[in-house]
Amino acid sequence: MTGSARGLGRAYGLRLASLGADVVVNDINLDAANEYGEELTAPTVMDEVRNLGRRSLGIQADVSKRAEVDAMFRHVLDEFGRLDILVNNAGGSLRPGPGWASSASEEDFRYIMDINLMSTIFCCQAASVPMKRQHGGKIVNVASQAGLRAGVEGGSAPYSVAKAGVIHYTRILAAELGPYGVNVNCLAPAWVLSSRAIAQGRGRPEAREALERQIALRRLGTPEDCAKVLEFLVTDLSDYVTGQCISVCGGYVLF
C-alpha cells in the first residue's frame, strides 16, 4: 500500500485490515499525518492496523526510485512470504502553478510523471513477479478524474497526463496478467476531502459550494467513499472485473 501514512492511503489500509488483511504501510514519510494535522487513533497507521488484529509493517521508501521499490518488495516477501494485493496510491499534484500544457517546465513534467506514473509502473512490475508465480493477485492503481477529463480552461497538464498514463497502463497490464489470474484495475477519485486537500482549503465553505454545484450528488467525497470501492476491487466481488477504471466522483465525471 503505497502513500498510506495518511489520507486516502490510510483509509485504504484500514479498510483492508478490517477485512482481514495484513498491511504494509509505505510512504516517503511515515509521519506524514502530522504534516496536515490528520488525527490517528494510535501513534502510527501501523499501530492502527495492529489494533484491528492484523500484522503491519511500515516501510519508508521513495517509490519513484526503482532501487527503493525493489528493496521494499524483497522486504515484504521476506516478512510475509507472499503478496496478494497491491494498491498504488502514492502521488499527487505536488507542483505549484497552473501547469499549462504549452509551457510547463521539463522539471515539473518529469517530477510529476515520476511520482505518479513511474512509481506505479515500478511497483506493478515488482508485484507481478510473485503474483504470476502464485497465479493470483489483485492490483489497484489510483488515478484521478484529472486523467479522465480536460477542463475547458486547460491546466494541470503534468498531473493529468501522468494519471491518464496510469489508467492506460492499468489496461495494458490487465491484458498481460489476466492469463495468470491477476486482476488489475484502477480508481479515479475526484474531489475528496483528504487531510491534504482540507489543509489546502478545499474544506472552506466557499470552495465546497463551488465544487458541489458541479457534482451530481451535491457533496464532496470522503476517503471512506473511495475505500468502499477499493474493497470491491480487492475481494472476490470483482473476480470477473479487470482492466477497468472506476470513477469515484459522485457524478462529477458522467460518461
Neighbours of 133 (CB within 10 A): 12
| Grid cell listed for 249 | 466522483
62 touches 31 (CB < 8 A):
no
- Select from 230, 249, 27 the least CA-distant residue to 146: 249
159 in catalytic set: yes
217 touches 250 (CB < 8 A):
yes
Q: Please identify which of the residues 12, 111, 159, 180 carries the catalytic annotation.
A: 159
Neighbours of 219 (CB within 10 A): 14
| Grid cell listed for 24 | 504494509
Name the region of 2 (left: φ>0; alpha: ψ -120 to 50; beta: rest).
Answer: beta
Question: For residues 165 and 141, what is the distance between their CA atoms, to the nearest angstrom?
Answer: 11
Neighbours of 229 (CB within 10 A): 20
Residues marked active site are found at: 159
